[in-house]
């Protein structure tokens, strides 16, 4: 919204009307206002109208770093760390290739999709996550490849038969 008092009054009115209908009220102790290019006087007026405190960027919401500026690789380190932790946890399991593939599709890419639903991932982060998943699938998390002996018939077999389709 615009950083002026009439805009804040309109939003506060909407939130009040919504709260009357739904019974869901914004908790002023958990709610913050983030400003950009607003004078101190307007900040004071908005704070007095809403009762919300001022906070600064970047902040974390549901484990995701929120920032109004350009998204850097370092902001996604938490996601990369979660993927690595998941892989470290999963390495003890002796799974077939199909089991590993299913695990990657459901768990690891599910985590990436959760982040992508909120933010646009930089290419370098997406490539890093794909590399981690590829290393888990074909070898070890440390990046060492292990020799695989598979017949072409088992690789090109149907999914239902344990192949890669």
Could you tell me the residue range of the domain that residue 157 belongs to? 78-161
**CA atoms lying within 13 Å on the CB side of residue 79:** 31
Residues 113, 145, single domain; the answer is yes
pLDDT of residue 113: 76
Residue that is written with structure tokens 């646009």 in the block: 120
Distances (CA, A) of 150 to 13, 95, 147, 153, 164: 66, 15, 10, 8, 11
144 part of a folded domain: yes
Residues 49, 109, single domain; the answer is no
DSSP assignment of 2-69 equals -SSHHHHHHHHHHHHHHHHHH-----TTT-EE--SS--HHHHHHHHHHH-PEE--SSEEETTEEE-SS
pLDDT of residue 125: 83
Is this model's pTM higher than 0.85 or not?
no
Residues 43, 82, single domain; the answer is no
**Rounded (to 5) percent helix, strand, coil in the chain:** 55, 5, 35
Question: Diameter of the chain by CA atoms?
Answer: 73
Distances (CA, A) of 42 to 12, 49, 51, 80: 15, 10, 14, 39
68 part of a folded domain: no
Contact 11, 3 (CB under 8 A): no
Residues 155, 98, single domain; the answer is yes
Residues 99, 135, single domain; the answer is yes
66 part of a folded domain: no
User: Into how many domains does the chain fold?
Assistant: 2
pLDDT of residue 20: 93
63 part of a folded domain: no
Residues 50, 100, single domain; the answer is no
46 part of a folded domain: yes
32 part of a folded domain: yes
3-state class of 76 per DSSP?
A: helix
- Each of the 165 residues of the chain gets a pLDDT tens digit; together they read 777 888 888 988 898 899 999 999 888 888 888 888 888 888 888 888 888 888 888 777 776 677 777 777 777 787 788 888 877 776 655 677 777 788 777 777 777 777 777 777 788 888 888 888 888 777 755 555 565 666 667 777 787 877 766
73 part of a folded domain: no
pLDDT of residue 93: 58
67 part of a folded domain: no
Residues 132, 99, single domain; the answer is yes
pLDDT of residue 43: 86
């Amino acid at each position: 919204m615009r950083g002026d008092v009439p805009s804040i009054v309109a939003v506060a009115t909407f939130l009040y009307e919504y709260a009357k209908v739904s019974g869901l009220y914004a908790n002023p102790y958990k709610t913050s206002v983030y400003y950009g290019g607003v004078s101190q006087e307007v900040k004071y007026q908005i704070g007095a109208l809403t009762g919300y405190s001022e906070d600064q960027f970047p902040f974390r919401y549901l484990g995701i770093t929120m920032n109004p500026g350009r998204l850097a690789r370092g902001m996604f380190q938490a996601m990369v760390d979660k993927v690595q932790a998941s892989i470290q946890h999963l390495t003890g399991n002796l799974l077939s290739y199909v089991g590993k593939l299913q695990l990657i599709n459901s768990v690891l890419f599910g985590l990436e999709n959760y982040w992508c639903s909120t933010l646009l991932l930089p290419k370098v982060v997406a490539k890093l996550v794909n590399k981690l998943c590829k290393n888990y699938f074909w070898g070890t998390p440390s990046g060492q490849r292990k020799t695989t002996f598979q017949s072409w018939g088992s690789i090109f077999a149907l999914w239902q038969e344990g192949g890669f389709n």
